[in-house]
A and B are shown apart, each in its own frame.
Chain A
Amino acid sequence: MPLRDRAFAGAATAMAGRGGAVVNLIPLGLTILALAIWALSLPGVNVRRMTDLGLISVLTPGIFLALVLLTISFAVSLHHQNLRPALLGLHLGVLILMLYGITALVEEAPRFSVVYRHAGFAEYIARTGHLNTAIDAYFSWPGFFVLTAFVTRIAGLSSALDLAPWAPVFFNALWVGPLYMIMTAATDNRRLAWLGVWWFFLANWVGQDYLSPQALNYFFYLLIVAMLLTWFRSRPAEEPSGSSTRWQGIALMATLLVIFAAVVSSHPLTPFFLIATVGALVLLRRVTPRALPIVMTAMTVAWILVVAQPFLAGHSSMVTGSVGQVNSIVSANLTSRVQGSPDHLLVVAMRIAITLALWGMALLGAIRGTGHGRDLAIGVLAVAPLAVVPLQVYGGEIALRAYLFSLPAIAFFAASWLFGLKRPAAGWRSTALVAGASMLLLGGFLVTRYGNERIDYITNDELAGVRHLYEIAPPGSILVSTGYTPWKLQQIEAYDYRYLPPSSLGQTDVKAVLRLMTDARHDHAYFLFTRSEAAQVDLFYGLPGPGASTGAARGSLDRLVDAMVASGRFTVLYRNADSMILTPVLSAGVAA
């Protein structure tokens, strides 16, 4: 057994003599009770009162109680003499619903402004049947958006936005299967495997599970790694191979390559994480298909050179410009994120603390597990993704992505460290330890995962404002905002989108806005102001703090809009509680 299964043996023995059937019913009852309390508490959550701490600032006591009950119930289930996969799976399902489905139930519209842009890409494809690489880089890796367009049309949905509210629950549920395969490939201890999966979902705060190519491709990443560790792992001669026949091995490899083809065609970054991970597994002789990294590299390069070439021709510096540029990568991924309002800084500090704590626990767990061959394989999963970090800034998100790709292994090692702490005799103490550590992670999750929620949630009034904009703005118009707004959801190719620079916010520079909106090639220009944009400015550029260096202060966007109205150079075309549309006076007569 690669990792020793001692900690739970004592608990199991202890429980065996105390009425196994009763102990078995307790977790089921607790889970149902937790779910009921959670559901009954949801109406009390008022997102309008949210502070810069995010969703946790408006959660009701019942939500916390439900999560605590579920955590205790899971810990008890994990220590039962006869491990019940169905019961543990039920806990996991309820956890995913509670943690990742809550926003779909307490918020008015699909959350996260980027989702609306993604819906716009799918809308363009569904409407035209073509790709347009001039609109966005993603049209050079269009697999996910074509799939979304296809699903939207064939299922008779009005928009991809119909899929968006429950996308986080869907994708997290999708990840359970390959995660469990990876964990069970690393250990024969099923309890450790379940705890590793459980902690993955408590530590996955990076929020890459919205309706997006990366969410689907992360599933493909996990699945390909799980396939390799399950069916293509290097084994001692005396051990049976993962795939029992030559035909089965060929069929599995063909399936793996089909899945990788979907990755190559639908996301620019995931192929590189896969090549790094699979390459390391092959180099260290943990898996048998020696030529696989070469084939994967060839497929990726072929796609880039043949299909994505038009994008690369105009953006080569964007792709290669940051290779090895440590300063710019650190700045974009870390320094620029550690700024904003005091509450937001607390959220950022929590993210760093949780990450370091988890990595520290994982390191201790890895040290405990050294000497076991399979641990080296899963250790590769923790380290290999980091190799991609020095290559690309990726919009300041590469460090977050590397964290996500390392997380399965990190959660596994952290769980294995905890399992090794107590000796077999301490059954209930071990249960308490699992429950306590899980609750700490849970508390951290509620802060870190939804720490930007005041920006990310979208109200019906905001959406009404955006929809009104598309009703009144003729194709070809200039549309201006900060970007953190639910726009681009329709006719994405028909408008000239422009972004408000932070400097014009800080200096309340109305003339700069006017310059941005004046262009001889366009007859109409519109300024869109929404609640989520104002929240973004508050959170990211709030005072006091480094954000002040940009000149932007709390309420800057509101002040700019006030100044625009007071200047007499803009006309308000539309206004509701959470959105406003303005146009320069010169074009107001035409636009109205």
Chain B
Amino acid sequence: MIRRLATLPLIVLALAGAAGSAVILGLGNPIRSLFVLPFLLGGPGLALVPLMRLDLLPGLTLAVGLSLALDALVSTTMIYANVWSPEATLAVLILVSLVGATAQLLTTSFEPDGLAAEEGS
């Protein structure tokens, strides 16, 4: 199951960190695209979908779908709110990802069998 990937919240944090750093540091391409695009493709979804405890393949598919949907909705909302800013849009998506990843870490810690047990299963 997708929830059993113990390192998933850490991967999300790494993706978010890489994307944010690439933009803040003003990295050029192709490095910048390599840091930013993977996060946009999977970051927000991988932060939230594992909380639903789904099987691996459907879970990953849904994570990508949710990521792209959130990318589109957040950026479109910025346009309609007359506050268009790619950087602010990325910040919102990173925030969503941080919340989801933190929730994953917290909820897994409080489970009786814990992450280690799940990894071993």
> Which residues from chain A sit less than 8 Å from chain B, CB to CB?
125-126, 129-131, 142-144, 146-147, 149-151, 153-157, 174, 177-178, 180-181, 216, 219-220, 223, 226-227, 230, 244, 248, 251-252, 255, 258-259, 261-262, 265-266
**B8-16, B85-93, B108-116 - interface stretch:** B85-93
Which B residues are CB-close (under 8 A) to A131? 79
Is the beta-carbon distance between B76 and A223 smaller than 8 angstroms? no
Are A130 and B72 in contact, with the CB atoms below 8 A?
A: no
Separation of A230 and B52 alpha carbons in the complex (Å): 14
**A230 — which chain B residues lie within 8 A by C-beta?**
58
- 14 more contacts with CB within 8 A, not counting A143-B76, A151-B71, A154-B90, are A125-B84, A146-B78, A147-B68, A147-B72, A154-B40, A177-B58, A181-B57, A181-B58, A181-B61, A220-B69, A252-B52, A255-B49, A259-B69, A266-B76
Within 8 Å by CB of B65, from A147, A259, A266, lies A259
A154-B69 contact given A181-B61, A223-B61, A230-B58, CB 8 Å threshold: no
User: What residues on B are CB-neighbors of A220 within 8 Å?
Assistant: 65, 68-69
Whether B37 pairs with A146 at a CB distance below 8 angstroms is no
Min C-beta distance of A328 to chain B, whole Å: 33
User: Known contacts being A143-B73, A157-B33, is A255 close to B64, with CB within 8 Å?
Assistant: no
Closest residue of chain A to B32 (Cβ to Cβ) is A156
Give the docked Cα–Cα distance between A329 and B109 (Å).
Answer: 59
Output the least CB separation between B29 and chain A (Å): 5
Contact B62 A255 (CB under 8 A): yes
Minimum CB–CB distance for B90 against chain A, Å: 5
Min CB–CB distance A501 → chain B (angstroms)? 36
Give the docked Cα–Cα distance between A256 and B18 (Å). 28
Chain B residues, Cβ within 8 Å of A252: 52
Q: How far is the CA of A304 from the CA of B94 in the complex (A)?
A: 31
What are the 5 A-B residue pairs with the smallest beta carbon separation, nearest first?
A177-B61, A129-B84, A262-B69, A153-B86, A150-B75
Distance of A154 Cα from B73 Cα, bound (Å)? 16
Instruction: Evaluate contact between A262 and B79: CB separation under 8 angstroms.
Output: no
User: Residue on B with the closest CB to A126?
Assistant: B86
Q: What B residues does A151 contact at CB under 8 A?
A: 37, 40, 71
Interface contact A156-B53, CB-CB below 8 Å: no
Docked-complex contact A125 and B61, CB < 8 angstroms: no
Contact A130 B71 (CB under 8 A): no
- Scan residues 27-43 of chain B and give those whose CB is less than 8 A from a CB of chain A: 27-29, 32-33, 36-37, 40
Cβ distance A527 to chain B, nearest Cβ, rounded Å: 35
- Distance of A131 Cα from B28 Cα, bound (Å): 28
The distance in angstroms between the C-alpha atoms of A262 and B29, with both chains bound, is 29
Chain B residues lying within 8 Å of A174, measured Cβ to Cβ, are 64
| Alpha-carbon distance A150/B29, docked complex (angstroms) | 16
Q: Knowing A143-B73, A178-B61, A248-B52 touch, does A154 contact B89 (C-beta < 8 A)?
A: yes
Distance in angstroms from B86 CB to nearest chain A CB is 4
A155 contact set on B, CB distance < 8 A: 29, 32-33, 36-37
When C-beta atoms are compared, the residue in chain A nearest to B33 turns out to be: A155
A182 to chain B, nearest CB (A): 11
- B51: CB under 8 A from chain A? yes
- Is B66 on the interface with A (CB-CB < 8 A)? yes
Q: Which of B51, B52, B70, B85 has the most CB of A within 10 A?
A: B52
A142 to B89, CA, bound (A): 16
Is there an interface contact between A258 and B40, defined as CB atoms closer than 8 Å? no
Q: Is the CB of B60 within 8 A of A177?
A: yes
Give chain B residues whose Cβ lies under 8 Å from the Cβ of A156.
Answer: 27-29, 32-33, 36
Verify B61–A146 contact, CB threshold 8 A: no
Inside 8 A of A153's CB, which chain B residues have their CB? 86
Chain B interface size band reads 35 or more
Q: How far is the CB of A128 from chain B (nearest CB, A)?
A: 8
| Residue on A nearest B23 in the bound complex, by CB | A154
Contact residues in A for B28 (Cβ distance below 8 Å) = 156
Q: Identify the interface centre among A129, A216, A220: most chain B CB within 10 Å of its CB.
A: A129
Q: How far is the CB of A306 from chain B (nearest CB, A)?
A: 11
Query: How far apart are A242's CB and chain B's nearest CB, in angstroms?
Result: 10
Q: How far is the CB of A106 from chain B (nearest CB, A)?
A: 22
Could you tell me the distance in whole angstroms from the C-beta of A552 to the nearest C-beta in chain B?
41
Residues of A within 8 Å of B86, CB to CB, are 126, 149-150, 153-154
Answer whether A258 and B76 are a contact pair too, CB < 8 Å, given A129-B84, A154-B90. no
Report yes or no: A226 in contact with B58, Cβ–Cβ below 8 A. yes
Q: Given A130-B84, A151-B37, A248-B53, does the pair A259, B66 have CB atoms closer than 8 Å? A: yes
Minimal Cβ-Cβ distance residue in A for B79: A146
Cβ contacts under 8 Å, A180 to chain B: 57
CB of A130 within 8 A of CB of B60, answer no
Cα-based distance from A142 to B90 in the complex (angstroms): 18
Interface string of B77-121 (1 = CB under 8 A from A): 011001011110110000000000000000000000000000000
* A155-B32, A157-B29 known; A258-B73 Cβ under 8 A: yes
Chain B residues lying within 8 Å of A265, measured Cβ to Cβ, are 72-73, 76
Residues in B whose Cβ lies below 8 Å from that of A216: 68, 72
> What is the CA–CA distance of A156 and B35 in the complex, to the nearest angstrom?
11
* Residue in B27, B66, B68, B76 whose CB lies within 8 Å of A255: B66
Bound: A240/B62 CA distance, A: 21
A126 to B33, CA, bound (A): 17
Q: Are B89 and A150 touching (Cβ within 8 A)?
A: yes
CB distance from A214 to the nearest CB of B (A): 14
Pick the contact of B51 from A178, A223, A251 — CB < 8 Å?
Answer: A251
Contact between B57 and A147 (Cβ–Cβ < 8 Å)? no
Q: Are B70 and A258 in contact (CB under 8 A)?
A: yes
- Cβ of B38 to closest chain A Cβ, rounded Å: 11
Q: Report Cα–Cα, A151/B75, bound state, in Å.
A: 10
Which of the residues A125, A144, A219, A227 comes within 8 Å of B79, measured between beta carbons?
A: A125
CA–CA, A150 to B68, complex, Å? 12
Contacts of A150 in B (CB 8 A): 71, 75, 86, 89
Q: Find out whether the CB atom of A262 lies under 8 angstroms from the CB atom of B68.
A: yes
**Contact of A251 (CB < 8 Å), options: B29, B52, B70, B73:** B52
Contacts of A178 in B (CB 8 A): 61, 65
A555 to B69, CA, bound (A): 46
| Residues from chain A with Cβ under 8 Å of B69 in the complex | 220, 258-259, 261-262
Q: CB-CB < 8 A to B72: which residues of A?
A: 143-144, 146-147, 216, 262, 265-266
- Closest A residue to B37 by beta carbon equals A155
Alpha-carbon gap, A265 to B33, bound state (A): 26
A156 to B19, CA, bound (A): 12
CA distance A154 to B92 in the complex (A): 13
